[in-house]
Amino acid sequence: MKRILAALLVIAVLCLTGCTTKRSQTPTDTGTDTPQFSMASVTDVSQLKEKVIGALRGTFAADAVVRAQIPILTYEDFATMYAALEKGEISGMALDEPTAISACISYDTLSYIPFENNGNGFKVDNSLADKAIGVKKGSDLAAKINDALKTIPAQTRKELMAQMVMVCAGGAIDASALKSDAPKNPNGVLKVVTECAYEPYNWRAESDANGALPVKNQEGNAYVNGYDVQIAQYVANKLGMGLEIYAADYDAMFSMVEHGDADCLLSGTEPTAERAALVDFTDAYYTANVVIAYMK
């Protein structure tokens, strides 16, 4: 219940002033703060020039830290990066804002600095702040998906993200903010691959509650939910197709699309130049600020 209440405060609609967590704590010395400096007092990214910031490999958040000429350490997964933060090896973690919100709800120890791209925050190419869907090079599927994405209002996208943050926190929703009718006679199946490990974009779920869908290539009761899953269902419905969700790690997702084992990848992915060499990207389905999560 505390996590849900925290989520309600946080999502008061991604218009945030920092992450509300489950209980108040006295700031502790993690090796990153000094009597003269506290991460909680940071209001501009320029104040981080002498700090080491962690980021997940290959993300636009990592690129933003490099561009800002701030010392950086990169990690393969969130758990390893969080452990480094606990040990004081890094002063903060560069994340997109929805991920930071989810992390703050999950970890009592975290808060975050609500930077705004190209304002008091990181200088970010807007295209790199986008989350986009990857399809096979040369495919006409990107144009069809773009037509579907154009029908989603900006406010609906925000409301959907708020819902997914709520579900991450253990809450429930009556119906998705993103509504569409499933086709009565599907014209084929849209095969979508995702990591199932990137809250609130995609994560493994225990049941089909709150709009979660089964994972096609996993045995047993394997389900996935998240912002990406809801977008995938909407796009499939708009294309008049059925939907199958597949799970794969980061590198395998691109390989599956390249070899035709999946039609598209939808996993909170930024359309970087490196990735665009492997797949074609659609227009953005979400755009996020880069923020810094830190130990309270």
Cα 190 to the center of its chain, rounded Å: 22
Has residue 293 been placed in a domain?
Answer: no
Residues 6 or more apart whose Cβ sits within 8 Å of residue 247: 193, 194, 195, 196, 215, 217, 218, 222, 224
pLDDT tens-digit series, residues 55-95: 999 888 999 999 999 999 999 999 999 999 999 999 999 99
Cα 40 to the center of its chain, rounded Å: 23
Has residue 252 been placed in a domain?
Answer: yes
Has residue 296 been placed in a domain?
Answer: no
pLDDT of residue 21: 35
Tokens of 236: 């499939």
pLDDT of residue 143: 98
Has residue 80 been placed in a domain?
Answer: yes
On whether both 83 and 136 belong to a single domain, the answer is no
φ and ψ of 176, to 5 deg: -65, 145
Q: How far is CA 190 from CA 68, 198, 217, 257, 260, in A?
A: 39, 21, 14, 12, 12
Do 215 and 231 contact (CB within 8 A), yes or no? no
Concatenated DSSP letters for 186-241?
--SEEEEEE-SEETTTEEEESSSGGG-EEBTTS-SS-EEESHHHHHHHHHHHHTT-
Name the pairing type of β-strands 189-194 and 242-247: parallel
Q: What is the CATH number of the domain that holds 97?
A: 3.40.190.10
Domain that holds residue 229: 128-288
End-of-domain residue from the set 87, 106, 125 = 125
On whether both 44 and 154 belong to a single domain, the answer is no
pLDDT tens-digit series, residues 251-295: 999 999 999 999 999 999 989 888 999 999 999 999 889 999 999
Checking 136-144 for CB contacts under 8 A at 24+ apart, the result is 136/257, 136/258, 136/260, 136/263, 136/279, 136/280, 137/258, 137/278, 137/279, 137/280, 138/280, 139/280, 141/263, 141/264, 142/280, 142/281, 142/282, 144/239
Do 56 and 269 contact (CB within 8 A), yes or no? no
Has residue 294 been placed in a domain?
Answer: no
On whether both 7 and 94 belong to a single domain, the answer is yes
End-of-domain residue from the set 77, 93, 125 = 125
On whether both 45 and 21 belong to a single domain, the answer is yes
On whether both 148 and 242 belong to a single domain, the answer is yes
Tokens of 197: 């490990």
Enter the pTM of the model.
0.74
End-of-domain residue from the set 108, 125, 142 = 125
On whether both 108 and 199 belong to a single domain, the answer is no
Which residues of the chain fall below pLDDT 70?
A: 1-36, 126-127
On whether both 97 and 163 belong to a single domain, the answer is no
On whether both 108 and 229 belong to a single domain, the answer is no
